[in-house]
Amino acid sequence: MMVTVLLYLFGILAILSALGMIFHKNPVYSALFLIVTFISLASIYALLGAQFLSIIQVMVYAGAIMVLFMFVIMLLNLRSEIRLPIGRPAQVFFGILFGILLLLESFLVLKSGTLSGAIGNFPQSRIDSIGSVQAIGNLLFTKYLFPFELASILLLVGMIGAIVLGRKKLPKES
Amino acid sequence: MVPISNLLILAAILFAIGVIGVLIRRNAIVIFMSIELMLNSVNLTLVVLAKQLQSLDGQIFMLFVMTVAAAEVAVGLALIISAYRLRATVHVDEINLLRG
């Protein structure tokens, strides 16, 4: 009962703050609204029994990524741009129209499709008994070892790319 | 416990909000944040389906999505900063070098 109420509460909070994120003029407030969305999603993960992912969500998304966003917003001086409306009227109208169409489409898919698939061997009781972190870690280092290593290469490439793109061009010494 | 379809509907609504954000905003940083929102709604779908199917694969794929998102944010924000250095704006209407 309590879990149900909390799930609906955090779901509504996530939707409201996501709407605030896209409709607020000031990008700083948009970033703050997005943090609220991420934290309510983290709470939903915790209520669904994925404790490890909940912690990771708070640390990586609400912590690291949003700090990066805030840093860039503060670095670029956007004072003059927040006086403009968020988009042209026709752009806003058609954007919302297409968004609602997409939403209806996914509702139709959800309504017509049935969830089928092989039932795995990790029921919630087993995850709880061996611990969320250990269960994920075991799979990550055995079955998914290759994608895990690829992810490390991806992060390295991302880091190098950010450094190369972001550095200032120094004048050539001659 | 909430029925699984309600959580999937929540993920669909968040995805649609992200799409609307990409379509209506002119500030490149906010467009980028909307893309993050879409990635997060997909993560929610993965976790919910992993719970429903009693499998951990969905949770592990969410970790990989998160890795991709982190790398993408680093590169994308560097791109936005270098675009700002060139044009002194992050408005996507004014960054129109590719317009024919």
CB-CB: which of B10, B60, B90 is closest to A140?
Answer: B60
ipTM of the complex as predicted: 0.92
Interface test with A, best of B5, B25, B66, B94 (most A CBs within 10 A): B25
The Cα–Cα gap between A15 and A105 comes to 18
Q: Mean pLDDT, 10 residues at a time, over chain A (174 residues)?
A: 91 95 90 95 92 92 91 82 78 93 92 78 84 90 94 94 84 70
> Of A158, A140, A136, A138, nearest to A149 (Cα)?
A140
The overall pTM is greater than 0.80? yes
CB contact under 8 A, B59 and A95: no
Q: Residue A174 has what pLDDT?
A: 63
Q: Is the Cβ–Cβ distance between B47 and A42 less than 8 Å?
A: no
Could you say which of A50, A119, A162 has the minimum Cβ distance to residue B59? A50
Task: Give the pair of three-digit tokens for residue B55.
Answer: 């499998």
